[in-house]
Structure formats: structure tokens, C-alpha cells
Chain A
Amino acid sequence: MKPTLIFLALASMAGLSAAAEIAQPHAAGIEAKNYLWNKPNKTLTRALKQKADPEKGKIAYEECRGCHKADASGRPDAGYPQLAGQHTEVLIKQMLDTRSGRRDNPRMHPFIAADAIPTRSIPDVAAYLHGLPVPDTNHKGDGKNLDHGKALYDKDCGKCHGAAGEGNGKEFHPKVASQHYPYLYRESMDIRDGQRRNADTKMVKILKSYSDEDVAAVSDYMSRLPPVM
């Protein structure tokens, strides 16, 4: 049993596995030449068409609760987004983009990989999540720059994300109302800096001109928009 002891000594520092380095597959995204953020693909088209069963989705979702919580309210400290009430189309696209490696999320990847959840369950989960009530207990920003945030939002973001932050499922525009502030802030920064590799290029162009303070103000404003079903 000697090797085990050596292993234990090493493992006491980091995760139990020597290979705790988390990796996920990588698919071409925004950095690629002919990138189109909403380019149709077979898996997505089929998933969108599939007749979804929220009851089955509830069971499939059990595996996600450890991070996104049973009520799908997420964990703001961890950057786990609220999923309750999000549009089914958005949920499906984000799950598939994460699985294929177009959206980087190594923490979540092993749980959305094909060996963890069958592709046919993805629309079921989306239907289940879409039907959950949106909690208004989400984390909000410091509230100091809301007028500026509102001005930016109405000018630059509302045309896609909706005047009330309701988004648009058919267009894959996420609902942003009452999402966690830390998540909105980080996503917006990642979108601006090209790190969210499945983002809409039109939005990226707009956000490129934003300072960190602008991003904080608009994220705070979005987090305070009341829940929309």
C-alpha cells in the first residue's frame, strides 16, 4: 500500500486526483475566421424541434442541482447562474455550446458531457427549467450608478435583451432580468474581451467601447430588473 501513502501526501494539497487540472474539448468560436454566432447545426436544430417533457427534465436536472440548486436559483458567489425561467431555446443552445466546447466552462463540462446526460434529455431539462418561477432573491450590484446603467441599457442592450430584460427565445437572446449581478458582470466582461467565444458579434462590438465601470453599471441595472416570466 506504499504508493497510496505517497499519493495521499500529494493529494492533501490539491484535489484528490493527480490530474485535477480540469480540461474540456475546444470547438472553434469567435476567434475563427468565418464565425457566425447562431450558425444552425444538426444537433441544435433537432433539439429545438424535439417534443420536450418537463417531467423527465426534472429527473435529468437532479445532476445539476449540486451547482445550480434545486430551485435553479444558482450560486452567485460561485458564478453559477440562475436558470429558472430562462428561455428554452437559450438554455438548449448554451448547453450544447458548452458540451461541444464553443463556450468554455470546464467546471460544468463533465456534467453536461454525453456520458452524463443524453442529448435527448437536453430539451427536457430546458422545458423543466423554463417553467420554474424566477426568484427575485438574486444578488444585485452596489446600486451606485443605476441611472448610468439604465441609460446604457436602453441605448445599447434593450433592443435585443428586451426593454424589461425579458430576452427573446426565438432569437436566442437571453433573459437578463434578475440574473445574479456577479454572473452578468463576468459574462459581459468576457463578451467584451472575447472570452465568451459563442457570443453575438454585434453585441461584442458594442461592449468593446465599455469601460469596466460601464459594464458594472449596466450589469447592476439588469440584475435589478424585476423577474419576468
Chain B
Amino acid sequence: MRHRSLQAIAGLTLFAGGIAFSAAAETVKGDPAKAVPLVERLCMACHGQDGNSLIPSFPKLAGQHPEYLLHEMQEYKTKHRDNEMMSPVVLELSATDMANLAVYFAAQKPVPGTPSEPGLLALGKKIYLDGNSESGLPSCDGCHEENGKGSARFPRIAGQNPEYTMEQFHLYATGKRKFGKKVMVTVAERITEQEAKAVAEYIASMP
């Protein structure tokens, strides 16, 4: 699970192997201005220039934590995460490109989504704040914070496209995103289809 060569450039200790607990999160060093031509050539078509992807199955990157963005790009590079659309893109990125892109997207302003099934929001909010006592599903706010903004340890999920969120739950639960943190795999194993849909809608509605 460890990729020392890649880590070196960004001091990325937080997401390597087991969860590390450094009180002062190390931040990614990069130059957002240098990322602009790459964004326009390689990312914009799918994630939008400002990282607020319009296509529902593509994740929003705007306002995401740079540590997480960098780590996920590395995950595609090492095939820990594999996606026919995303994986080929990272092949031509250097470690410096990835760090620049991470700080670029982290600095963009996230735009909240429009929930497609407002009727599910109440259940979604309940799951988000209370989890499910019967199945042992922990509440999401515990890790992703009440406002969904996450932290250096846990990704931002506020405003994310529901279709993408659902896809990730399925990937975690079926062992296809198995190199991610196990705690999230457990969460995805315990959540029901209905609860996942509801919470995905609630997340989308978060500013």
C-alpha cells in the first residue's frame, strides 16, 4: 500500500497505509497556476474547469482536500482504483503535475448540487447524523463532519453528485475499491440500498 517515491514529493503521510494521526496535517505543496493548462487539456471535459463536474456520474473535485486528491490520483496510477475513463488520464501526469492539480482543484469553490429526489432528504439526514442503530451503521458526521467538509483525514463529501456517491458505495461494498480505508468499506457493507440513495441525496444538498 505504500508508494515511497510518490510520497516523497508531497510529504503524504496521512493516507499511506494505516491511518496516521498527525495532529498538524501536512499539506500538499504545488503551484495551481502551473495546473491550468493541464486542466484545460486533460480534465475540463469531465470535471469542469472549476472542478464542479456537471455529469452526474463524475465526481466534483472543487474544494476537496488536496491530500485526498493527490492520493486518489496516485491510486489510479497504481491501479488500486481502476476506471476506464479516469485511469488513462493519470498515465501522462508526473508527480509534480499531480501535486499542482491537487492544489488547483482544492482551491476551487464548490457548488452544491440539486437533489433529484427531495422526498428522500429526511431519511438521508437521519442516516447522516444518526446512522442506523440496528445494523451498526455509524453516522457519517462522525468522520466527514456535520457539514460534510471532511478534514485532512476524511474526504469532503458535501455537494457531491449522487450518482457518483452511489457508484462508490457499490465499489466499496463489492470489494472493487478495496485499497481505500477499510472503515469506509465497512460503512458501505452495512448501508442498505435505500439508505445509500437517501444519504447520497442529502449529501448532494449540502452547501
Q: B193, A11: Cβ atoms under 8 Å?
A: yes
> Inside 8 A of A60's CB, which chain B residues have their CB?
21
Q: How far is the CA of A20 from the CA of B195 in the complex (A)?
A: 15
- A7-B174, A15-B135, A115-B182 known; A66 and B140 CB under 8 Å? yes
Q: B192, A12: Cβ atoms under 8 Å?
A: yes
Q: Whose C-beta in chain A lies nearest to the C-beta of B169?
A: A16
Interface residues on A, range: 35 or more
Q: Is B125 an interface residue (CB 8 A)?
A: no
Partner of A111, one of B134, B186, B191, B194: B186
Q: Is A14 an interface residue (CB 8 A)?
A: yes
Q: How far is the CA of A5 from the CA of B153 in the complex (A)?
A: 33
Tell which of A32-40, A41-49, A70-78, A171-179 binds the partner. A70-78
Q: How far is the CA of A106 from the CA of B131 in the complex (A)?
A: 16
Q: Whose C-beta in chain A lies nearest to the C-beta of B188?
A: A16
Partner of A66, one of B20, B134, B138, B196: B138
Tell which of A81-89, A116-124, A206-214 binds the partner. A116-124
Q: Is B56 an interface residue (CB 8 A)?
A: no
Q: A12, B189: Cβ atoms under 8 Å?
A: no
Partner of A20, one of B140, B143, B154, B190: B190
Q: How far is the CA of A13 from the CA of B19 in the complex (A)?
A: 32
A55-113 with Cβ < 8 A to chain B = 55-56, 59-60, 62-67, 69-70, 75, 77-80, 106-108, 110-111, 113
Q: A64, B142: Cβ atoms under 8 Å?
A: yes
- A12-B192, A16-B196, A62-B151 known; A78 and B142 CB under 8 Å? no
Q: Whose C-beta in chain B lies nearest to the C-beta of A16?
A: B173
Q: How far is the CA of A56 from the CA of B183 in the complex (A)?
A: 19
> Inside 8 A of B141's CB, which chain A residues have their CB?
65-66
Q: Whose C-beta in chain A lies nearest to the C-beta of B193?
A: A12
Q: How far is the CA of A124 from the CA of B189 in the complex (A)?
A: 29
> Inside 8 A of B139's CB, which chain A residues have their CB?
65-67
Q: How far is the CA of A36 from the CA of B141 in the complex (A)?
A: 39
Q: Digit string of B129-148 for contact with A (CB within 8 Å is 1, else 0)?
A: 01101111011111100000
Q: How far is the CA of A88 from the CA of B115 in the complex (A)?
A: 45
Q: How far is the CA of A107 from the CA of B138 in the complex (A)?
A: 9
Partner of B153, one of A16, A62, A118: A62
Q: A75, B173: Cβ atoms under 8 Å?
A: no
> Inside 8 A of A62's CB, which chain B residues have their CB?
142-143, 151, 153-154
Q: Is A8 an interface residue (CB 8 A)?
A: yes
State how many angstroms separate the Cβ of B82 from the closest Cβ of chain A.
Answer: 15
Q: How far is the CA of A59 from the CA of B189 in the complex (A)?
A: 25
Q: Digit string of A1-28 for contact with B (CB within 8 Å is 1, else 0)?
A: 0001001100111111111101000000
Q: Digit string of B164-175 for contact with A (CB within 8 Å is 1, else 0)?
A: 000001100110
**Which are the 8 A-B pairs with shortest beta-carbon distances?**
A66-B138, A66-B142, A78-B133, A107-B136, A65-B142, A16-B173, A17-B189, A110-B186
Q: Which residues of B contact A (CB under 8 A)?
A: 18-21, 23, 130-131, 133-136, 138-143, 151, 153-154, 169-170, 173-174, 181-183, 186, 188-194, 196
Q: Which residues of A contact B (CB under 8 A)?
A: 4, 7-8, 11-20, 22, 55-56, 59-60, 62-67, 69-70, 75, 77-80, 106-108, 110-111, 113-118, 121, 124
Some 8 contacts from A to B, beta carbons below 8 A apart, are A12-B192, A16-B196, A62-B142, A62-B154, A63-B19, A63-B142, A108-B136, A116-B181
